[in-house]
Amino acid sequence: MQLLSQITVTAGERKPVIQLLLGDLSAIPKEHAVDILVVSAFPNDYTPLEGSLFLALQKKGLFVRALAANKEMDLVAQLGCWLSAPLSAEQKSKFHFKKILCFEPHYHSTEPQTIVGNIFRCINTFAFDEDNDEIAMPVLATGYQKVPIQKMLPALLENAVFWLQNGLPLKCIKLVLYRQEQADAALPIFEPVKQRLVKTVQEEIKNISDIPRRPPAVSYPEVAEPETVYAPGNAERHNESTRAAPPVALQPHTAPLPTYDLFISYSHKQTEAVQEFVKAIREKKDALNIFYDRSSIPAGGLWIRKISEAIQNSKSVLCILTPEYSKSDVCWDEFQCAKVMELRTKKSIIKTISFIKDEDMPPMFAIYSYIDCTEADLQKLISSAGEFC
């Protein structure tokens, strides 16, 4: 397997990488061993078609259909994906991955942003422990789904960089191409993204180094203290001394992002109940700044970034759990943005309310203790408002 290029993403102290490789995913060498191999299929169809990864794996003794019959976690109903049980010790030593994550969405789409958004909802669900922090995958949907690599790869890179920068705890994402002509098409897409990130890091370092240090008071007693400028989200530090470190300079004309006391994540079917809930909170404490109306956020690629910014600047995130919630792409994105923020900050910010019983509640949601307002008990929901004031 040949490493063609590599992007290093800066995520606080972590330096996860996105690698572009040329090789055979059915024959991953030991030095490129990963925890999870991501594959895609049509719903409940694991036919080993000619030229497919499924056929290559089957020829070497690994049957995806057999893995599908013994899933470790089944989220096909919610996200259109499942995670296999761990391979046997013999299989792990032969194939150099531990599990397969199979992406098989309910509906067919050739829109790269739709496909990739769903792929990363699946990946994000299983990437929160050290046993699942290195993954490999082909540039999905460019085979039998026939999405051009010129469309699919930019969307994959954009999403990978976004989630890694926001704290998704992956060490490495390997994007593996099988044919040389794929590599020839992919490198001119991959390299500009790499250079843009390098340039961004260099500019950030330069901006920090260009911040004027306060002259020592003993040398210039007549110089007044300069006005301190704070980065977004640091309003609570306005009264702290800054003598130990230089202030952080904002870019010109950059307005601070609003800070929210509470971000409410819910399915649109519960809009009226949530409005009553917010009204009850504000009757108790009108000064609270609550984010719950998504209508002002533009659709498209910027949506997830706007949501992430709002969550990053929220003290708490409340999820109103219902069966519709666990089937909503929007709700999964909001929950996962909050989850990576919890992981990065090491603070518990997610709270949940069970509003309608969900027999198939995903474990990712169920691990949080919740206020019980089932079944759609609006008065219980309103009464719980005091817990968030």
Q: What is the pLDDT of residue 294?
A: 82
Two tokens, residue 272: 């009226």
What is the distance between the alpha carbons of residues 66 and 84, in angstroms, rounded to a whole number? 10
What is the distance between the alpha carbons of residues 219 and 305, in angstroms, rounded to a whole number? 46
Q: What is the pLDDT of residue 232?
A: 31
* Residue carrying structure tokens 């250079």: 195
Residues 75-90 as b/e (b if ≥16 CB within 10 A, e otherwise) read bbebbbbbbbeebeee
Q: What is the pLDDT of residue 323?
A: 96
Q: What is the pLDDT of residue 120?
A: 94
What is the gyration radius of the CA atoms in the chain, in angstroms?
Answer: 24
Contact by Cβ (8 Å): 337, 272: no
What is the distance between the alpha carbons of residues 135 and 28, in angstroms, rounded to a whole number? 12
Q: How many helices (H) and strands (E) does the chain have?
A: 13, 13
Contact by Cβ (8 Å): 181, 23: no
Residue range 234-244, pLDDT digits in tens: 333 333 333 33
Q: With a cut of 50, list the residues of the chain below it in pLDDT.
A: 208-209, 211-254
Own/partner contacts of 213-221, CB < 8 Å, gap of 24 or more, are 213/246, 214/243, 214/246
CA–chain centroid gap for 102, Å, is: 18
Q: What is the pLDDT of residue 99?
A: 97
Residue range 39-77, pLDDT digits in tens: 999 899 999 999 899 999 999 999 999 999 999 999 999
Q: What is the pLDDT of residue 101?
A: 96
Q: What is the pLDDT of residue 175?
A: 98
Q: What is the pLDDT of residue 147?
A: 86
Give residue 54's region: left, alpha or beta (phi > 0; psi -120 to 50).
alpha
Q: What is the pLDDT of residue 299?
A: 65
pTM of the complete model: 0.81
Contact by Cβ (8 Å): 385, 277: yes
Contact by Cβ (8 Å): 139, 116: no
Contact by Cβ (8 Å): 53, 39: yes
Please provide the DSSP assignment of 168-223 as one string: ---SEEEEEE-SHHHHHHHHHHHHHHHHHHHHHHHHHHHHHHHSPPPPPTTT-TTS
Q: What is the pLDDT of residue 300?
A: 61
